């Protein structure tokens, strides 16, 4: 499909969507589609496409898509600690979603003794002010 009025980056995205739909059972093609869409479309354009696809899905499909997408974005539980506890914690936090960060932070914070919680909050406030 070629349309003269399409921007070349949009034409690339349209072509790749067509290939993925034609080769519907080829996992590699669908993974490649994500790469092409990321390269050729803006975050806004990808968001509009995602919202449109979700709106077109029935309820069961909707939740299957959302659960699959969310599970891919999650960091999962932190790995067992080895040598550099603080470095490994930072590494995990860089991968975690905001929801995971809030849940783990709250669970860890409430387990700290009162004195440690006070010290932690003071340290966090100093870092936030810097």
Which of 26, 46, 73 is the C-terminal boundary of a domain? 73
pLDDT of residue 40: 92
Residue 79, in any domain of the structure: no
DSSP 4: T
Question: Total structural domains in the chain?
Answer: 2
Q: Both 66 and 94 in a single domain?
A: no
Question: Is there a contact between 1 and 14 (Cβ–Cβ < 8 Å)?
Answer: yes
Domain identity same for 56 and 12: yes
Q: Are 69 and 113 found together in one domain?
A: no
Please indicate, yes or no, whether residues 42 and 97 belong to a single structural domain of this protein: no
Residue 79 pLDDT > 70: no
Region label for 26, one of left (φ > 0), alpha (ψ between -120 and 50) or beta (otherwise): beta
More confidently predicted of 77 and 124: 124
117 pLDDT band, cuts 50/70/90, is: very high
Q: At what angle do helices 43-56 and 59-73 cross, to 10 degrees?
A: 140
Is residue 120 in a domain?
yes
Reported as a pLDDT band with limits 50, 70 and 90, residue 78 is low
pLDDT tens digits, one per residue of 87-98? 888 888 888 888
- Same domain for 19 and 65, yes or no, is yes
Domain hosting residue 39, numbered range: 8-73
Residue 39 pLDDT level (bands cut at 50, 70, 90): very high
Structural domain contains residue 2: no
């Amino acid at each position: 499909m070629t349309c003269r009025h399409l921007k070349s980056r949009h034409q690339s995205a349209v072509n790749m969507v067509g290939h993925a739909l034609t080769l519907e059972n080829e996992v590699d093609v669908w993974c490649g589609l994500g790469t092409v869409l990321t390269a050729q479309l803006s975050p806004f354009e990808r968001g509009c496409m995602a919202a449109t696809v979700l709106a077109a899905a029935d309820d069961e499909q909707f939740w299957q898509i959302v659960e699959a997408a969310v599970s891919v974005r999650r960091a999962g539980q932190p790995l067992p600690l080895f040598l550099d506890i603080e470095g490994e914690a930072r590494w995990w936090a860089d991968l975690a979603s905001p929801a995971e960060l809030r849940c783990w932070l709250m669970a860890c914070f409430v387990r700290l003794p009162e004195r440690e919680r006070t010290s932690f909050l003071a340290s966090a406030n100093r870092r936030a002010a810097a």
